[in-house]
A = this chain, B = another copy of it.
Amino acid sequence: MKAIAEVQVIPIGVGVSVRTEVKRAHQLLADSGLEVELHANGTNLEGELDEIFRAVTHVHETLHAEGVVRLSTHLKIGTRMDKEPTLGGKLF
């Protein structure tokens, strides 16, 4: 099932600056092969819902393995049956 998503990863316990971890999370999402678009409040994704969830799981696993103790992630997921959802199709 194709989906449009937004992923915002918030590392907790790494201090006030979270840039390193947020950048790392975005890079991992970009490396997943999904179409990605970075913006100021997260990374937009386009692809199969299964692959999106796999990519988010990989971000949590990787950041925890790299020492981030706690993560709070906010996800938006959009799916529709009448046509294929695309990132570009949501702009005007």
Contacts and interface: CB of A to CB of B under 8 A. Distances in A.
Interface of A: 1, 3-6, 8, 10, 12-13, 15-16, 18-19, 22-23, 26, 37-42, 44, 49-50, 53, 56-57, 60-61, 64, 68-82, 87-88, 90-92
Given A26-B92, A40-B87, 13 more contacts: A1-B57, A8-B76, A10-B10, A16-B70, A16-B82, A39-B91, A40-B44, A41-B44, A50-B57, A53-B56, A69-B80, A70-B78, A71-B77
A38 B90 CA distance: 10
A44 B49 contact: no
Which 6 A-B residue pairings sit nearest by Cβ, starting from the closest? Answer: A13-B16, A53-B53, A6-B41, A75-B75, A40-B90, A70-B80
A56 B61 CA distance: 19
13 contacts: A1-B60, A12-B18, A16-B70, A19-B92, A37-B40, A38-B91, A39-B91, A40-B88, A41-B76, A49-B60, A56-B77, A73-B78, A75-B77
